[in-house]
Chain A
Amino acid sequence: MTRMPFDFLEEMTRMRREIDRILGDDRYSSWSFPFSRISFLPGRASREYPLLNIGEDHDNIYVEALAPGLNPDTINVSVAGDQLAISGEKKALPKSVKPELVHRSERSAGQFSRSLSLPFGVESEKVRANYENGVLKIVLPKIEAAKPKQIRVQVG
């Protein structure tokens, strides 16, 4: 039951795929190009940024965000209740670059923020985050009550 919000996202993704297919956008359709959801590629409007992978094990939730080229000082990860918020800024080209000397401009830049509801309660004091090679990795320890319990089955 806790997975409800993600089912909703999956449903939206499925609809988008369907629309892409109808519009004949084969280049990006998911079966020929599974990377179509990489939002740092240009030309796909209003997507969530950064893209996230979320996994879990017995003790932790792992949130990983695809966000190359951030100024590390601007990265802000905050947890309030079950809400996780990630924000930051991707550096634009230096101002000294004259517009007429730009040959290609494909990397988007600017400020972003994304927040989401976590499916489990987490211990907000023990959240750790690490930014490595353009991927932000956040480890959120689950609260005791959210950890799965093994139930012993009595045979008798």
Chain B
Amino acid sequence: MTEKTAVSTTDQMRSVTPSADKSLATRDDALYIAPPVDIFETEDALTVIADLPGVSKDAVDIRVEDDILTIKGKASYKRPENMILEEFDLQGYFRQFQLSDEVDQSKISAETNNGVLTITLAKAEKSKPRRIKVNVG
């Protein structure tokens, strides 16, 4: 599984507009950060875990199109008023991965829990490891 970094993607992954240009941003959806992920394999699945703090269950958008897994999320976080200390802001998340044909794209499930998104991609039958019995004789 490789990360998708084609030009078309980076266009959409425009990092946050500097404050001086804020008046030029016509779509608020354009502000994204790439969430950090853990990806690991088990015998019959590939699991992607992404940190999406501030995103509720309904604001997560996961798609698979043309072998590309897209993770999108919109944070519904509003900073408190009259801030005396300001260390973070949350807006949107966006990240894409290229899937190989090892993954059965019809068997993908996802869940969120405490701002962490877990996506389970079942492996296609043919790519599951097969145990070959060694006969000693």
> Could you tell me which A residues sit within 8 Å of B by CB distance?
3, 6, 9, 31-35, 37-38, 40-42, 48, 51-57, 62, 64, 66-70, 72, 93, 97, 101-107, 119, 131, 133-135
Q: Which of B4-12, B35-43, B63-71 contacts A (4 or more CB under 8 A)?
A: B35-43
> Given A55-B79, A67-B53, A107-B49, are A37 and B87 neighbors across the interface (CB < 8 Å)?
yes
A133 contact from B16, B85, B115, Cβ within 8 A: B115
Write the chain B residue with the least CB distance to A119: B84
Pair A106/B53 contact, Cβ less than 8 Å: no
> Given A33-B15, A62-B80, A106-B38, are A51 and B88 neighbors across the interface (CB < 8 Å)?
yes
Pair B55/A33 contact, Cβ less than 8 Å: no
B80 contact from A32, A37, A38, A53, Cβ within 8 A: A53
Which residues from chain A contact B77 at a C-beta distance below 8 Å? 135
Cβ contacts B82-107/A at 8 Å (1 or 0 each) = 11111111100000000000000000
> Could you tell me which B residues sit within 8 Å of A by CB distance?
1, 15-16, 18-19, 33, 36-42, 46, 49-56, 76-77, 79-90, 112-116
Pair A57/B52 contact, Cβ less than 8 Å: no
The minimal Cβ–Cβ distance linking B47 to chain A, given in whole angstroms, is 8
Pair B88/A134 contact, Cβ less than 8 Å: no
Write the chain A residue with the least CB distance to B33: A35
The minimal Cβ–Cβ distance linking A90 to chain B, given in whole angstroms, is 9
Which residues from chain B contact A101 at a C-beta distance below 8 Å? 40-42
> Given A35-B33, A106-B37, are A133 and B87 neighbors across the interface (CB < 8 Å)?
no
Which residues from chain B contact A37 at a C-beta distance below 8 Å? 87-88
A53 contact from B19, B46, B86, Cβ within 8 A: B86
The minimal Cβ–Cβ distance linking A137 to chain B, given in whole angstroms, is 9
Pair B51/A97 contact, Cβ less than 8 Å: no
Which residues from chain A contact B85 at a C-beta distance below 8 Å? 6, 9, 52-54
Pair B89/A34 contact, Cβ less than 8 Å: yes
The minimal Cβ–Cβ distance linking B78 to chain A, given in whole angstroms, is 10
B88 contact from A9, A53, A104, Cβ within 8 A: A53
Write the chain B residue with the least CB distance to A42: B36
A57 contact from B33, B56, B82, B116, Cβ within 8 A: B82
